[in-house]
Amino acid sequence: MSSPLLRPVLRGALRQVRQVDPVRPRRAPGEVRAVYTEVEREFGMLAPPIALHAAAPAVMAAAWVMLRETLIAGGLVERAAKEAVAAAVSAENSCPYCVDVHGAALDALLPGADATKALDGPSEWLRRDGGAPPFPAAHAPELVGTAVVFHYLNRMVNLFLADGPVPENAPPAVRRMVHAMLGRLMRAGARQAPVAGGSLDLLPSAPLPADLRWAAGTPSVAGAFARAAAVAEDSAARVAPATVRALLDARLATWDGRPPGLGRGWVDPAVAELPPEDRPAGRLALLTAMASYQVDEALVAEFRHRHPGDAPLIELTSWAAFTAARRLGTRLADAD
């Protein structure tokens, strides 16, 4: 979808990945290369929010499958409506990178004031604690699914990417050019939406967990989230002690989606009940899930002391981000 001249510029966006070493396309092993190839073909560029996961190939595949089968694949819902949900969720989660990208997409898909107006419905829906969703029930798998994907991706982007797709010191003309380029890519993708279900063979099939039942009406979306849930459980079994898994579940059970405080003073009391050796993972999991923008290099280094390498870091944070996103998806789907 992107021109040969433009592709090196787009791939250069991997320089924005932080905390982990990005896997360059030319050096990517087969499992990673398969996802990279599909992302470039169907999204128009090697999207850094997907590529940042490459140290854990199954996690990266899960992130891509969820994104493709909700936002990108053809279905019942127009791409502009899904982009509006993506932009509204990203604004709620204080994720400037995703706001920039999906705001540009919305501007490209809808003329002028229509793009701003398109955000009103999703923004109201996300703030609502009750009442029927503002769309037909048949649209729930795609729209709730898009919201869940971006609740997940926003958290990972806040941890592992710069604040925007364009460097802060870039001249205004460059920023305008990149935003226009992103918009064109998204508009082209919307016109050539790939067939639903085409990415599911990247991961083995899995049963759909009960809390994701809102996806059941659309087999491609259900298949994507079932596979992602299985990957998250495998990741948690490797890097999240049982005490940390229980703590995160308990905190999210009564969570309303709002940040738990202005600072991080709530975190240390929350992990005090954990064995000392589990507290770094506990801190990182809680902050990733509930206030991802507060994660800093010191917290990452503390976790790496017991879990060296990039793969455990991606697996722990991905599991925590997805667990929070699932909880928020349940609240959205049950608001009737």
Between 271 and 44, residue with greater pLDDT: 271
Q: Which two tokens stand for residue 218?
A: 């659309």
Q: Residue 144: pLDDT above 80?
A: yes
Instruction: With H, G, I as helix, E, B as strand and everything else as coil, classify residue 177.
Output: helix
Q: Residue 279: pLDDT above 60?
A: yes
Q: Residue 336: pLDDT above 90?
A: no
Least-confidence region, from 16-25, 62-71, 253-262, 263-272: 253-262
Least-confidence region, from 165-179, 215-229, 232-246, 308-322: 165-179
Q: Residue 282 in contact with residue 247, Cβ under 8 Å?
A: yes
Annotated catalytic sites, by residue? 98
Task: Name the nearest CA neighbour of 121 among 108, 101, 139.
Answer: 139
Least-confidence region, from 160-164, 221-225, 313-317: 160-164
Give the pLDDT confidence score for residue 129 in this predicted structure. Answer: 62
The segment with the largest mean pLDDT, out of 9-13, 174-178, 316-320, is: 316-320
Q: Residue 271 in contact with residue 297, Cβ under 8 Å?
A: no
Give the pLDDT confidence score for residue 38 in this predicted structure. Answer: 95
Question: E strands of 69-181, at which residues?
Answer: none
The confidence band for 195, taking pLDDT boundaries of 50, 70 and 90, is: very high
Model's pTM, two decimal places?
0.91
- Distance in angstroms (rounded) separating the CA atoms of residues 88 and 102: 9
Q: Residue 108 in contact with residue 87, Cβ under 8 Å?
A: no
Largest CA distance in the chain: 55
Q: Residue 107: pLDDT above 90?
A: no
